[in-house]
């Protein structure tokens, strides 16, 4: 495993629609492992392949696993999701406003409306079909990461973007 460089806003890969994953070979497995290690090192709760300059439809998501997170997120805390070719097949009508950041846009956060609940389908790291029903923060992270696969960033849909004060930034987790 290796920690990969997370590209920034000025890299054109972030603005391109990523290609479907068609091979689940050793190279793909290495990418998955590297992305998980990179996300955890950052630290973040989600990472899309375009953020490490790989134009593939692949995301990794993992909510924190500390004691407070286990109380708040229950079984979802610490659970790792690896999803190739993810698609949101169902989304609640209910929208929720929340603050988001992005590992590719460090030092900024923004207010974004997202669906409260989503159902995501795709393939796991071995190419087997999977389905995830996500609510709350987990749903927000999935939507944020899937947006990356279409070249869309949270700043494109944010109501407001700002640089938080240092003490505020420590409290924010970045998808």
More confidently predicted of 48 and 65:
48
CB count within 10 Å of CB 101 equals: 21
Inside any domain, residue 63? yes
Over residues 91-104, the mean pLDDT reads 98
The residues facing 134 across adjacent strands are: 118
Domain that includes residue 63, residue range: 12-171
**Can you give the CATH number for the domain in which 33 is found?**
3.90.45.10
Q: What is the pLDDT of residue 168?
A: 55
Indicate the pLDDT class of residue 170, thresholds 50, 70 and 90.
very low
Catalytic residue chosen out of the listed positions 76, 145, 160, 169: 145
Active site residue 145: yes
Inside any domain, residue 6? no
- pTM of the predicted model over 0.85: yes
Q: What is the pLDDT of residue 144?
A: 98
Q: What is the pLDDT of residue 71?
A: 87
- How many domains is the chain partitioned into structurally? 1
pLDDT value at 174 more than 80: no
Instruction: Give the helix/strand (H/E) hosting 91.
Output: strand 80-91
pLDDT value at 172 more than 80: no
Dist. CA 35–CA 51, nearest whole Å? 9
Inside any domain, residue 37? yes
The residues facing 82 across adjacent strands are: 60
Cα Rg, the chain, nearest whole Å: 15
Q: What is the pLDDT of residue 60?
A: 98
Inside any domain, residue 90? yes
Dist. CA 136–CA 107, nearest whole Å? 24
Inside any domain, residue 140? yes
Inside any domain, residue 1? no
Indicate the pLDDT class of residue 70, thresholds 50, 70 and 90.
confident
Instruction: Give the helix/strand (H/E) hosting 73.
Output: helix 67-73
Indicate the pLDDT class of residue 25, thresholds 50, 70 and 90.
very high
Q: What is the pLDDT of residue 51?
A: 98
Q: Counting every residue, how long is the chain?
A: 175
Inside any domain, residue 5? no
Q: Which of 1-5, 51-55, 75-79, 169-173 has the highest mean pLDDT?
A: 51-55
| Averaged pLDDT score across all residues of the chain | 94
Dist. CA 161–CA 108, nearest whole Å? 7
Q: 62 with 81: CB under 8 angstroms?
A: yes
């Amino acid at each position: 495993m290796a920690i990969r460089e997370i590209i920034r806003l000025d890299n054109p890969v972030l603005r391109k629609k990523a290609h479907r994953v068609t091979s689940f070979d050793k190279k793909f497995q290495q990418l998955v492992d590297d992305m998980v290690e990179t996300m955890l090192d950052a630290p973040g709760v989600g990472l899309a392949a375009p953020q490490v300059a790989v134009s593939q439809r692949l995301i990794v998501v993992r909510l924190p696993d500390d004691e407070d997170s286990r109380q708040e997120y229950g079984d979802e805390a610490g659970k790792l999701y690896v999803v190739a070719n993810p698609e949101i097949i169902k989304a609640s009508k209910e929208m929720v406003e929340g603050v988001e950041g992005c590992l590719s846009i460090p030092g900024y956060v923004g207010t974004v409306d997202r669906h409260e609940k989503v159902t995501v389908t795709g393939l796991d790291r071995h190419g087997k079909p999977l389905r995830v029903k996500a609510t709350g923060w987990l749903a927000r992270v999935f939507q944020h990461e899937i947006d990356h696969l279409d070249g869309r960033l949270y700043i494109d849909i944010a109501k407001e973007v700002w640089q938080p004060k240092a003490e505020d930034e420590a409290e924010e987790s970045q998808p």
